[in-house]
Amino acid sequence: MAITYHAGRRIQGTSTDFGTAGAGIPAVSGGWKEVGRTTLGSAGTTIDVSSIPDKRYYMVLVDHIASGSSQPDCRFNSDSGSNYSYRWSNDGSNGTSINQTNIKSSNGWNTSEFNVNYISNLASKEKLTCFFACSNRGAGAGTAPSRTEVANKWANTSDVISSMNYVNGAGGSFDTGTECVVLGFDPDDTHTTNFWEELASVELGSAGANIGSGTITAKKYLWIQTLIKPAAACNVKITFNSDTGSNYVDRYSYNGGADSTRTSQSNMSLDLSGNNALKFYNLFIVNNSANEKLIIGHSVDPTATGAGTAPDRAEHVAKWVNTSAQITDIDFDSTSGNYAAGSIIKVWGSD
């Protein structure tokens, strides 16, 4: 490498050192890699992903398209014994179940939904999982989606997970196109075939009331992270493809409080405080052209600096009811006050 060192601790290298056109050298530190996928070619009552390699952690994306009443309940390694337990919250109502024959991964509304699941996988320990779901509860912007958060455990302490089996907990079927994608991560991984591809990275150079992705490549799954630095008190809303019609509907809980809903809106609401504190958003979207776009989101703002003040949190689910196009543009708009320079949006995607 032809790297030289200069005054002021500057380091200089050639384009060869830093990749084509300075694009950088590909990472070799691993990341979320696709390790299994099943997509239904016709309606069925099970979704099985087998021959999953041993990874320390999994992220699982489930695009559940209902045909009649259907509810995806999850098992590992085809274990149907009473070896599962979970604590759940459905639209803010909480409960527990023990000695179950499967993991609760659905909110039980028997309608199409999107799941993002995280699993810790160590053979000698019980397998702990965090499942998040957004159910559409029916078509249209007049029907609010439902949200589910579930903490699960599989009591097996002798095996790693080698298969995931989603069984229908209701009387209908999983429709054609229903899909389960399993991503794996291990600290020792050195592959360069990451599932998530960066589609946009935008940072505000000066204050403004909007930060957006610009036009992005259409992908079936989207992951968005946004850090808002308010220049003044502001409220944050999100729109897709510049659509400001009454085509959004959301449900949210603020600091663990009772759920609230907004139907037939011109945007998705993200900010519930309207203050001038930092705001961080993390969202996942299933982005099928012919289906309503289902969104799962979490947000946090510190309210004030210092350890003496607890931050605010919110959980969101939402729908964009467009059924003719994929999301190719994402805008975070302020309805009052500007965002400061340094606000950032990052978008990743994959098919």
Give DSSP secondary structure letters for 257-297: ---EEEEEESSEE--SS--SS-EEEEEEEE--TTSPEEEEE
Strands (E), 8-56: 10-12, 33-39, 46-49
Q: pTM for this structure?
A: 0.88
Give the burial string for 205-239 (b: 16+ CB within 10 Å, else e).
eebeeebbbeebeebbbbbbebbbbbbeebbbbbb
Which two structure tokens, joined as six digits, stand for 281? 């958003």
pLDDT value of residue 21: 44
Spatial contact of 160 and 13, defined as CB atoms under 8 Å apart: no
Q: Is residue 77 exposed (0-12), middle (13-18) or buried (19+ Cβ within 10 Å)?
A: middle
Which residues, 6+ apart, have CB-to-CB distance to 10 below 8 Å?
Answer: none
Residue linked to tokens 């997970």: 161
| 3-state DSSP assignment of residue 213 | coil
The closest alpha carbon to 268, from 301, 235, 230, belongs to 235
**Strands 127-135 and 113-120: what pairing?**
antiparallel
Distance CA(114)–CA(129), nearest Å, equals: 16
pLDDT value of residue 22: 44
CA 63 centroid distance within chain: 12
pLDDT value of residue 67: 81
| 3-state DSSP assignment of residue 46 | strand
pLDDT value of residue 2: 43
Backbone angles phi, psi at 22, to 5 degrees: 70, 20
pLDDT value of residue 14: 40
Residues of the chain short of pLDDT 70, as ranges, are: 1-29, 106-110, 170, 272-274
Chain segment 266-290, per-residue pLDDT in tens: 999 887 666 777 889 999 999 999 9
Torsion region of 5: left, alpha or beta (phi above 0 gives left; psi -120 to 50 gives alpha): beta
pLDDT value of residue 246: 97
Which residues, 6+ apart, have CB-to-CB distance to 23 below 8 Å?
Answer: none
Which residues, 6+ apart, have CB-to-CB distance to 186 below 8 Å?
Answer: 30, 55, 56, 57
